[in-house]
Structure 1
Amino acid sequence: MTVIAFLGAGSVVFTRELLADILSFDELRGVTLALHDIDPERLETAEAIARRTADQLGARPRITTSLDRRVVLDGADFVINAIQVGMHAATVRDFEIPAKYGLRQTIADTLGIGGIFRALRTFPVLEAIARDMRELCPDAWFLNYTNPMAMNIGYLTAVAPELKAVGLCHSVFWTVHDLCKLIDVPLDEVDYSAAGVNHQAWLLRWEHRGQSLYPRLDERLEKDPGLRRRVRMDMYRRLGYFPTETSEHSSEYVPWYLRHDEEIERLRIPVGDYLRISADNVEEYHATRASVLAGEPLDVSRDATEYAPQVIHSITTGTMRRVHANVANRGLIANLPEGYAVEVPCVVDGMGVRPERVGDLPLQCAALNRSFVNVGQLTVRAAVTGDPRMVRQAAMVDPNTAATLPVERIWELCDELTAAHGDLIPAALRG
């Protein structure tokens, strides 16, 4: 029987969606679902959701729970990671402290000051998970959803290269989905391929019946001045390739927008947006818990299947699929650094996840990606070596931070955030 371990199962809305997708596959309706969270109440809620979802779908999985991570990892075939170290309180610190220094952020979970410190909080837990997996489920696939995705996969590549770690993110799919809707072309008739780094991959191929759809997007932009008032549209018009993830995310990864009041207004950038999203997530958790405890039915309908259930189904049944995933760059993108995480098309079947070689990215796209990667590589190296100076150096080369603050203020900001996060930061990096 296939065993699927969920780490961070208390992220109940996301867990509900994954469970609905998994249990919708006939071949997976009898799997073992092993749920783990460090919060007893959230774990209880996750178990209730799992049982309700199974009942509504007529599935009969074996469901187990434990506050002990090692218990759920023992014998697992797949490990889905959705942890958030520090939860909402840490997110608030990542926004409010930089804001005192005049540093604007929108999402703060991938790059920049917020991404760096989220990574530093997450790395020690990832290392402990990898250590447990070596002992308890060395052949399991580690399917990571936790941000900062590229830094997390880059860190695991450095400290646990034998781990079968794959980063899964829906940004490529939903980018193509929304673009197709924008120009009124059926998604299921479209061929597409993207590559780069997570949240800043590039739509290299986007075709309908062999014809590029970029000219149709150009026509749509020409007719709609309002549509041009979005960061990703602005980047596409200047770079020639559309970036994945939202405009809110994308604004943080470059030096051109958040520093300037007029650009924030022109492109309607919602500064601090993830504070609202994070607070909404907390409220949604409480609403979902109240609903399931009251015996109300869950919404198990899904517009699209998440990548993790597809990967699990393909590996267990041999069904071939093509997804976009985050893996170590082993000759996959020639003009990005070797060994760091890249997002590329992958074939998935009974042999596992097999990334496709892309070759060179367009030069302008690779140039932006390298700025993105620089921050992640320094953050990973800081954690691996225990060198706190490298944390500050990562912040110094971050595009948005460097465009906003002088170096002395960057170091002061890092000092204050390190102190504020306390024991969540590795001891060696608190100096």
Structure 2
Amino acid sequence: MRIVFVGAGSVVFTRQLLHDILSFPELSDVEIVLYDIDLERLQVAAALAAGIAKAAGARPVLSATADRRAALVGADVVVNMIAVGGHSAIVTDFEIPAAAGVRQTIGDTLGIGGIFRALRTFPVLRDLAADMQQVCPEAWLLNYTNPMAMNIQYLTAIAPQLKVAGLCHSVYWTVRGLCDLIDVPFAEVDYLSAGVNHQAWILRWQHAGRDLYPALDAVIASYPEQARRVRVDMYRRLGFFPTETSEHSSEYVPWYLGRDSEISRLRIPVGSKLRSSAENLAVYDELRASLAAGRMPDTDWEDAAEYAPQVIHSLATDTPRTIQVTTANTGLITNLPAGAAVEVPAGVDRLGVHPRHVGALPAQLAALNRHFLSVVELVVAAAVEGDPRHIRHAAMSDPATAASLTVEQIWQLCDAMVVAHGEALPEPLRSAPLAAGVG
């Protein structure tokens, strides 16, 4: 099996995936190709991969290249984890909106940050999809890059025949965390989650047939500080627990970030992604220095339960599994738009990833998801149609942005962001269109 890591220079994530893949004895001799356009990071990733393989007692065939097309030839699985623009682009995504009066916490999924992260990622996804269709058309593309829903919906629009699955561990860690909170073994619970990536919902959560939500209610009632979290607040009002962190969840609704009182009440860490991104740079620098000095960093990590290694193992061994995936809505969630990128359970085996039918979400949850997906649809339309007005339409539709700015301020902010990201955006989207009747 030939596995290609696209964006392998994201070495912190690369090392976890490599560790998890090589922990399976059946995958100890796979072929792994590391690809990145940053030659220094690629070199660090290659050294790290060799060290992880040695520590695991595995004998994979390892190579590294800055030639994407050559890397993809004959691939069976392509794992995408690119971050177009890196830390400097993240700084832009936060500082310009902040100056305009828009608060963000993570900025990688919805909102101004998510919109422009998608728009600078789409050209790379377009070229990746074109290469895959020519040199490895049967390969599975496993995408980790955010904004997940926008990226998967874009890929579905431009390359519908490509085999794509969006992977995110938020559902897994949400359920693990809830189980720890009420002291029930995670391995013994049954759960069902569906919605959209970073705004899905725990629809069923049971232990031996017993609904566990009443136990969660008791914990929240006993510890009032638990209520000072965005997703607990959302759960108490909506009736189902959201699957992403409070930082993430605060950005997808209009209720919280625009008000100082809510930021204080719910302890929302505005700008947290800026801090974590800077910390990741420091971790990378430390890792690079260690490898340059001939010291291999500690590889005795707990398995992270990432889905890509599990998918790869199932493809290779026909081991059946159930995971969460983001995929096109082909009647999977009946009260969300057809073709939209939704997150649902999926079976995995040697034939691939098989999304499962969920049915209708509770009306209040579907309403929020539809609002989320309206922004996704408009961002994808901007790129597919080459219409820069749709960037502004997406920002106008975004819940948190619309709650903070007037429509004229939104257009001005989008103009500033287009200028700041410049050539990273698709060429047709670099203009600044006037609103109807203006000028």
Q: TM-score, normalised by structure 2?
A: 0.97
Report the Cα distance in structure 1 between the residues aligned to 2:298 and 2:193, rounded to whole angstroms: 31
> Which residue in the other structure is 1:398 paired with?
398
Q: Is the 8 A contact 2:315 2:352 kept in 1?
A: yes
CA shift in 2, pair 1:21/1:303, >3 Å: closer
Q: Which residue of 2 aligns with 1:422?
A: 422
Q: Do 1:53 and 1:298's aligned partners in 2 also have CA atoms closer than 8 Å?
A: no
Answer whether contact 1:93 1:420 (CA < 8 A) is retained: yes
Alignment of 1:219-258 (within 5 A): 219-258=218-257
- How far 1:35 sits from its partner (Å)? 0.3
For 1:312 and 1:319, locate their aligned partners in 2 and report how far apart those are by CA, in whole Å. Answer: 10
Query: 2-side partners of 1:406 and 1:84: how far apart?
Result: 30
Distance in 1, Cα, partners of 2:20 & 2:305? 6
Cα separation, 2, equivalents of 1:155 and 1:379: 9
Partner of 2:163: 164
What residue is the counterpart of 1:263 in the other structure? 262
**Partner residue in 1 for 2:317:** 317
Alignment of 1:240-389 (within 5 A): 240-300=239-299, 301-389=301-389
Asked if structure 2 preserves the Cα contact closer than 8 Å seen for 1:323 and 1:347, the reply is: yes
User: Which residue of the partner structure matches residue 129 of structure 1?
Assistant: 128
Matched, 1:62 2:73: no
Question: Residue 176 of structure 1 aligns to a residue in which SS?
Answer: helix
Q: Write the letter of the residue equivalent to 1:411.
A: W
Task: Detail structure 1 runs of 4+ shifted over 6 Å in the superposition.
Answer: none
The 5 Å alignment of 1:184-223 reads: 184-223=183-222
Contact 1:168 1:308 in 2 (8 A): yes
Please give the per-residue CA displacement for 1:187-242, whole angstroms capped at 9, x wherever unaligned.
11111110000000000111111111100000000011111000000000000000
Q: 1:291 offset after TM fit, Å?
A: 1.6
- The alpha-carbon deviation at position 350 of structure 1 amounts to 1.2
CA drift at 1:292: 2.1
Cα drift, residue 94 of structure 1: 0.4
Deviations 1:279-304 (A, max 9, x none): 11111111111122222233332243
**Structure 1 residue 371: deviation in Å?**
0.6
Farther-moved stretch of structure 1 (280-289 vs 126-135): 280-289
Distance in 2, matches of 1:278 and 1:375, equals 25
* CA distance, structure 2, for counterparts of residue 292 and residue 64 of structure 1: 17
Contact 1:17 1:302 in 2 (8 A): no
1:305 Cα shift?
A: 2.5
C-alpha distance in 1 between matches for 2:182 and 2:231: 16
Distance 1:45 1:111 in 2: 32
2:18 aligns with 19
Q: What residue in structure 1 maps to residue 434 of structure 2?
A: none
Instruction: Name structure 1 gaps, 5 residues minimum.
Output: none
Q: Secondary structure at the match of 2:227?
A: coil
Q: 2: distance between equivalents of 1:77 and 1:9?
A: 17
Q: In 2, distance between residues paired with 1:420 and 1:337?
A: 33
Aligned counterpart, 1:50: 49
Number of aligned residue pairs: 430
Rounded Cα–Cα distance in structure 2 between residues aligned with 1:22 and 1:164: 20
In structure 1, the partner of 2:138 is 139
Partner of 2:437: none
| Structure 2 runs not aligned, ≥5 long | 432-439
Query: Any conservation in 1 of the 2:20–2:303 contact (CA below 8 Å)?
Result: no
Letter in 2 for 1:238: R
| 8 Å Cα contact 1:231/1:267 also seen in 2 | yes
C-alpha contact 2:320 2:349 (8 A) present in aligned 1: yes
Q: Please give the alpha-carbon distance, in whole angstroms, between the structure 1 residues aligned to 2:394 and 2:408.
A: 14
- Identity among equivalent positions (%) equals 63
| Residues 133-184 of structure 1, C-alpha deviations (whole Å, 9 max, x = no match) | 0111000000000000000000000000000010000000000011111111
Instruction: Give the structure-1-normalised TM-score.
Output: 0.99
Instruction: State how far apart, in whole Å, the 2-side matches of 1:281 and 1:304 are.
Output: 18
Report the aligned-residue RMSD. Answer: 0.7
What aligned pairs does 1:36-115 form with structure 2 within 5 A after superposition?
Answer: 36-115=35-114
SS in 1 for 2:267: coil
SS at match of 2:224: coil
Distance, in Å, in 1 between the alignment partners of 2:394 and 2:305 is 35
One-letter code of the match for 2:74?
G
Maintained 8 Å contact 1:229/1:267 = yes
